[in-house]
Chain A
Amino acid sequence: MNIFVCISGVLLFVVSQLAIVTSAGADELTEKERQAIQSADVYLHVALMRDELELLRFEMGRPSDHQPPMVVSNVAPREVFFLALTLFHKANRLAFEQTRERVDEPKIPLGEILTGHVWQVVDAALQRIQRVKNELGILEKSAPGVRNADKRPIDVFLAIVQADRQLNLLLERRFAPSDVFKQVTLAIAYSARLLSHFDGAQRIAATPPYQRGKQPVDVYYRLASVLVQLQKIGQQSGLVMLALGNVNDAAEITPSDVYDIASILVAELAYLHRQLGTVERPLPVHYPGRKFPSDVYQRVGILEAQLMTLQAQVDANPDWLHARLQKEEIAE
């Protein structure tokens, strides 16, 4: 029996590797190929990208990132997927800055997000970096790493955070509060969709008062607190969500981290939203113009209030996801 399992595992791995190697692009992956991809494969891909970024950094003469890794737990492919999307956004922006070429971002899957989806997004980002590399005439090639089957989504997550941070340092127009503002607004859009399933609940809370002089770190902490709030909602709803570790030194937080945590928040809310099984998407978010951390801080206040409302609703009806699915089944 064990031998059979081992042989099956090896065959699956070989097939997946062949599929990855032979695939011309992320969009061309079949469902079977996508399901065969594991965190170790994605980690290998991110590691390759980090090597490529190091080549670019050297060529462009930009500083190297030395921030300590983020502390997280309960990481699932969906969180890694949305973090990878931020990686893609930054890679796409870098590519635009250097090549004036811009490509569409990978689509967010409607169903369950698998490791294969993460691999596709990382691959799309890698292609943008390699396009820049070609544009800049860098001929060195990064050596492929060694696959470590023990890698888990959390390892991929942390590797992407590091790549994100480095990539941010390469950008001419770095990810600024306005980008975080957009992410938070997107999170508000998801929360509004979630609240729309509770009759009588106010979907978008009133804007809290503006507080001057806020720093990115303030936004980070407020977002972290919102993430904890969301984690509680997830727990009450029977879902496991990403837990963020404490950051003791504010200096450890980079502007890129603020964007990343906002993206994670969006990922978790999108995940929660997907549990409703609805196909409706939140409204697209548009460039808000120049924003200061105080603007973002204020906007996170709206999100915070929304999640408080959501928590109250979930408190009153912890079975809400299950009940809704049952209701839909009956309706069918």
Chain B
Amino acid sequence: MKLRLNFIRAGNLRYRLLRSHLQIALIGVLMLGVTLVSIIWLSDTAQRAASERAPMMQASTSTLSGLHRSLAEMRGWVALGDERFREGRHNAWQEEIRPALERMQRLSSNWIDPRNKQQLVQVSKLLAELEELQWWIEDVAQAPGNEPARLVLTRDLEPVVEQVLTATTVMIDEEMANGQGAEHKQLLGMMADFRAAFLHSTVMLSDFVSGAETHYQRGYYADLDRATERLKSINDRYHLLSAQQQRLILWIQQRFVDYHHFAEQAVAQRQSETWDVARHLMTTQALPVAQQATRLLQSMSTGQQQLMTEEAAEVSLLGNIAVWLSLALISAMMIAASWLSRRSANQIAQPIAALSQATQALAEGRLTADIPVTGDDELSQLIAAFNRMRSSLQQGEAALKNKAQHLERSNRELDQFAYVASHDLKAPLRAIANLSRWIEEDLEESLTADTRKQMELLRGRVHRMEALIEGVLQYSRVGRVALDVEQVDVGRLLNEIVDDLALPEGFSVEIAPDMPRLNASQIRLSQVFANLIGNAIKYRERDDGRVEVSVEERDAFYYFSIADDGPGIDEAFYSKVFQIFQTLQARDTVESTGIGLALVKKIVEEQGGNITLKSTPGQGATFLFTWPKQPPLQEQQDHAN
């Protein structure tokens, strides 16, 4: 837990990296969130348009269709009384209006605008009102009470008419049977005229009730007046009537009053607005309610259509917005991420870059001051450590410089010593050799063979001493004394060496024809080849011999091979032969300083190469050494200097 806390500790490099990544991720998440919201909005709008508007429009259209159908069926029922119209009306409600209304109510649960819900409530109420009204219209339309005037006519008036006509007929029959004379003839005419006028007034009244045409009404009143006048005339001749006729005329007069009463009632009913109750209800109540409902439904349908159009436009707009928003967000995210990354990279990489530059400068020896430490994270710690390292390195370098200067002085002294050795020591040696020869020449005759031999030995040791001194001098100069780098034709160099070595009779050196040209110190390369070929000649055990020099080019090096067919070297002495002053044979046996191969090894290694030996005793030895195609940098610089 502690480790974990350390890991997320503020200022910690990991924490900063994590924070940087999280910031970028957070921007991405925020942008995705915004995009998601816009997509959800878009989806919601599209879904609403698809799942609410269209079904709502369909439902309102279905309700409208059902409403109109119910009205048409209603009219059919009112006009014709055909049962099929009634069933049709019921079906319109059962199959169309109510299911559609239920659908709308289900859909309304998702509505947001309270006005729409209010409209639906109003439509529901209006439709319930209409259904109730239609029920009443249907109930009354084919009932006798639907036309109160006709009801009065059939229920009240017609029995009276029947009674009056019957009584009048009886009266006329009696008058025809018993009436004599002009007065009775006139009376009979009055009775017949009364009956005709009365009957005609009834017909006129009936026609008026049927069509409400005014000429029938006028005809009715004219006939009624005529009948009234005839009845009065008959009554005026009351004395001419028989007893039965007198009772009948009184009864007829009473019924005539009833007739008049009912007829007036029928006329009044026919003239009233409610002469046809069903039609009146339909016109004054049902149709206005239906129209109101139709308007509302159309308004709802139009509203839904408008909403659908608006939502379609909104979906399109939102789609465009979503696309542009996504693009904008992607751009913004890229910019923000880039900025944040750059900032974080700068914060994190700047110290690293500074450190890198400082390291470079340090390597080049240009760094003299500490890199500023700004934080306490790992980088700061690294910079601090680097500063410490730089400090100790520069201290070490200074010490090294001192030592180098000291060494340089030593080298100069050594050079001086070498010079002295080569010059000052070699000179007495040459003098000793010359003196011994002069002594020998002076004492030529007195010298014994032994003395002469000893003198020879003396000069031999002097020469050996001189060779040793020369060898040590050369050995010490390798790597210390800069030599010219020049283009060397190795083949030509080898031929010159072979010429200088003065090969014994029977001895040959085979130089491969593909010897390269390379930039190198000719002296050093010459020393290597001369020592190796010279050793092959020096240590041969027979008069003849053969040395093969070949080369192979690989990578940055040339691989030279000097193979002889001499006695070979036991493997146990492979390393010994390269040690200075080491010889495999006594110096008295073979004149040797023991420096040659050590010098060769030092030269080759100083050039960046190496030397190896392969040999089988009795079958010769092969020395393999590598030589760089280009001289080492230091040598080049030295050469340039």
Contacts and interface: CB of A to CB of B under 8 A. Distances in A.
Contacts of A199: 121, 124-125
A196 B151 contact: no
A203 B128 contact: yes
A283 B128 contact: no
A287 B145 contact: yes
Contacts of B261: 100
B257 interface: yes
Residue among A100, A185, A286 with the most chain B CB within 10 A? Answer: A286
Contact of A288 (B145, B148, B155): B145
Interface string B574-598: 0000000000000000000000000
Interface string A223-246: 000000000000000000000000
Nearest to A182: B145
B132 A286 contact: no
A131 B124 CA distance: 51
A283 B281 contact: yes
B129 to A, nearest CB: 7
Given A100-B261, A203-B132, 15 more contacts: A100-B257, A189-B136, A192-B132, A196-B132, A199-B124, A200-B105, A200-B124, A283-B133, A286-B143, A286-B145, A287-B145, A287-B151, A288-B144, A289-B143, A289-B144
Interface in A171-205: 185, 189, 192, 196, 199-204
Contacts of B128: 196, 201-203
B265 to A, nearest CB: 9
Contact of B140 (A100, A200, A204, A286): A286
Nearest to A286: B145
A303 to B, nearest CB: 13
13 contacts: A100-B258, A199-B125, A201-B128, A203-B131, A283-B136, A285-B145, A286-B145, A286-B148, A287-B144, A287-B145, A287-B148, A288-B144, A289-B144
B277 interface: yes
Nearest to A205: B135
Interface residues of A, number: 18
A283 B146 CA distance: 13
A283 B139 CA distance: 12
Contacts of B144: 287-289
A244 to B, nearest CB: 27
B129 A196 contact: yes
B237 to A, nearest CB: 27
A192 B128 CA distance: 10
B587 to A, nearest CB: 135
A204 B151 contact: no
B123 to A, nearest CB: 11
Nearest to B137: A283
Contacts of B131: 203-204
Interface in A57-101: 100
B147 to A, nearest CB: 9
Contacts of B129: 196
B161 to A, nearest CB: 15
A185 B139 CA distance: 10
A324 to B, nearest CB: 15
Contact of B135 (A196, A201, A204): A204
A206 B98 CA distance: 14
Nearest to A206: B90
Contacts of A204: 131-132, 135
Interface in B423-441: none
A289 B146 CA distance: 10
Interface in B142-160: 143-146, 148, 151, 155
Nearest to B140: A286
Contacts of A100: 257-258, 261
B125 A286 contact: no
Contacts of A200: 105, 124
Contacts of A287: 143-145, 148, 151, 155
Nearest to A181: B143
A201 B131 CA distance: 12
Nearest to A289: B144
